[in-house]
Structures are given as structure tokens and as C-alpha cells.
């Protein structure tokens, strides 16, 4: 029974998003559906005090090369997979891509699902019903799927940071990480292939918190120590 004609899978190009992408490939192959892999480049907005720098071009070029490399690895299983590289907030760009003609199912790496034929927006209720349908078709259970998900590991450190230098630390981290995907909603979050790092100034103490997540404990610790080192070098 064919469920989808066109599957759209969003990826942040990290290892953590690979299981969802593999599932999208399996869905497309099972249904004989078209598959489009979309990546949205979120270009950071920097404070006006920082001299103008062209971040868009190097970020999009690097992202395009990594997306092409990822798709090359998928073509053995899904020869007709297509790419979509967009610029803007990921949730907005995923919605826009899902609204294009023919897309029957879209998913983001953070657990958002869109069924454009029902509603061209993230919809938890519709996603739950579709999930139950897919579990029945695969003769499996939600607990079995949960057990198959990769484990994640967290690490945390703090770095003493004078109040007057907290802004310098954040701007420096943005500059040093301009070739990676950044999220600047709360602090500076840098996405790596094997995890992420979040630098977050403490609102009440003269310290900066460094959080990291990795595919294993050693990776998480390596990431957190690397950013502790960068901050301490900035403060010298």
C-alpha cells in the first residue's frame, strides 16, 4: 500500500539527524515516492558594533558542499533523491518547502511533522494519527522504535567571565564558528557533526556556562573542553 508520493526530509547535516533521514529514504523506497532533502541555512544576525562581514556566502557554500556529500551517500539506496538548500529560519523554510506542489509528508530534525494534504503547517495531532498508521503498516510498536534511537550524552563546564567581557566572548565565538550552523536564540549554540555546544552567559553570576551534547560521553567532554579553551584564550 502506497502512503506517500513525495517525501521531504529536513536535515541539519549532523549525525544526530541521520536516523530520521534514513527513515525518510526507507519510506520513499517502500512507496516508490520522490525524496527531497532540504537544509536551511540560518545566517546569524550580529550586533551593529561588529564590522560588516559577508557571512552568507561562505555559510551557504559550505552547507551546499556538505549537503551534496550527504546526498552522494544516499543515491545508492535512492538514486533520484533531490536537494533543496534554502536560506532563513529553518522552521519557516521547511514550511515553505512543504507547501510546494506534490509534497505529501515533511519532517524536521527536531521532531516536527507536516502533512501538507491536511494542513501545510506543523501539526502534532495529524502526526500522531499518521504515526499510528505507519506503526501498523510496519507491524512494530512505539517502544521498539524508541529503543532504536541513538543515545545522547551531555557535558557542562563554567568559565569565570567578567561582566564587561561577556559580550566579547559571545561575539568571538560567533566569529570563530562562522563556518558552522549557529543558533542565537539563547546564547551561542554551535552545531557539529557529532553534537552541539551552547555558550550561555549566566544572568546573575560573572560566569559563562558551556553545555555540550555528543554521540558518546567522550565526544561531549571533548566539545565542552574545546569551547572552554576558546573562551579562556579570548579572556587573556
- The b/e string for 67-89 (b: 16+ C-beta within 10 A; e otherwise) is beebbeebeeebeebeebbbeee
Q: Is the dihedral of CA 195, 123, 60, 228 positive or negative?
A: negative
Query: To the nearest whole percent, how much of the chain has pLDDT over 90?
Result: 28
The length of the chain is 236
In angstroms and rounded to an integer, the radius of gyration of the C-alpha atoms of the chain is 20
What would the pLDDT profile of 163-194 be if each residue is shown by its tens digit?
A: 999 999 999 999 998 888 888 878 899 999 88
Q: Is residue 44 over pLDDT 60?
A: yes
What would the pLDDT profile of 102-151 be if each residue is shown by its tens digit?
A: 777 787 766 778 888 788 788 888 888 888 888 898 899 989 988 887 77
The pLDDT value recorded for residue 201 is: 92
Q: Is residue 50 over pLDDT 70?
A: no
Cell numbers describing residue 119: 494542513
What would the pLDDT profile of 2-14 be if each residue is shown by its tens digit?
A: 677 888 888 888 7
| pTM greater than 0.85 (yes/no) | no
42, 63 in Cβ contact below 8 A?
A: no
Name all domains of the chain by residue range, CATH numbers in brackets.
6-147 (3.40.50.620), 153-235 (3.30.310.50)
Q: Give the Cα separation of 182 and 163 in Å (integer).
A: 23
Q: Give the Cα separation of 161 and 232 in Å (integer).
A: 9
Amino acid at each position: 500500500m502506497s502512503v506517500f508520493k513525495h517525501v521531504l526530509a529536513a536535515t541539519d547535516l549532523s549525525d544526530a539527524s541521520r536516523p530520521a533521514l534514513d527513515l525518510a529514504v526507507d519510506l520513499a523506497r517502500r512507496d516508490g515516492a520522490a525524496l527531497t532533502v532540504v537544509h536551511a541555512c540560518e545566517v546569524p544576525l550580529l550586533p551593529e558594533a561588529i564590522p560588516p562581514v559577508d557571512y552568507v556566502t561562505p555559510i551557504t557554500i559550505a552547507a551546499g558542499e556538505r549537503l551534496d556529500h550527504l546526498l552522494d551517500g544516499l543515491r545508492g539506496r535512492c538514486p533520484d533523491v533531490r536537494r533543496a538548500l534554502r536560506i532563513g529560519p529553518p522552521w519557516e523554510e521547511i514550511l515553505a518547502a512543504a507547501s510546494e506542489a506534490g509534497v505529501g509528508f515533511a519532517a524536521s530534525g527536531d521532531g516536527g511533522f507536516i502533512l501538507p494534504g491536511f494542513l501545510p503547517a506543523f501539526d502534532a495531532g495529524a502526526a500522531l494519527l499518521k504515526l499510528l498508521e505507519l506503526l501498523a503498516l510496519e507491524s512494530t510498536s512505539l517502544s521498539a522504535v524508541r529503543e532504536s534511537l541513538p543515545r545522547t550524552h551531555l557535558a557542562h563546564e563554567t568559565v569565570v567571565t567578567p561582566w564587561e567581557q561577556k559580550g566579547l566572548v559571545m561575539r568571538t565565538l560567533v566569529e570563530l564558528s562562522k563556518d558552522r550552523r549557529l543558533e542565537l536564540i539563547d546564547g551561542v549554540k554551535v552545531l557539529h557533526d557529532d553534537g552541539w555546544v551552547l555558550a550561555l552567559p549566566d544572568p546573575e553570576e560573572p560566569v559563562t556556562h558551556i553545555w555540550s551534547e555528543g554521540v558518546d560521553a567522550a565526544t561531549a567532554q571533548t566539545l565542552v573542553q574545546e569551547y572552554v579553551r576558546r573562551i579562556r584564550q579570548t579572556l587573556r
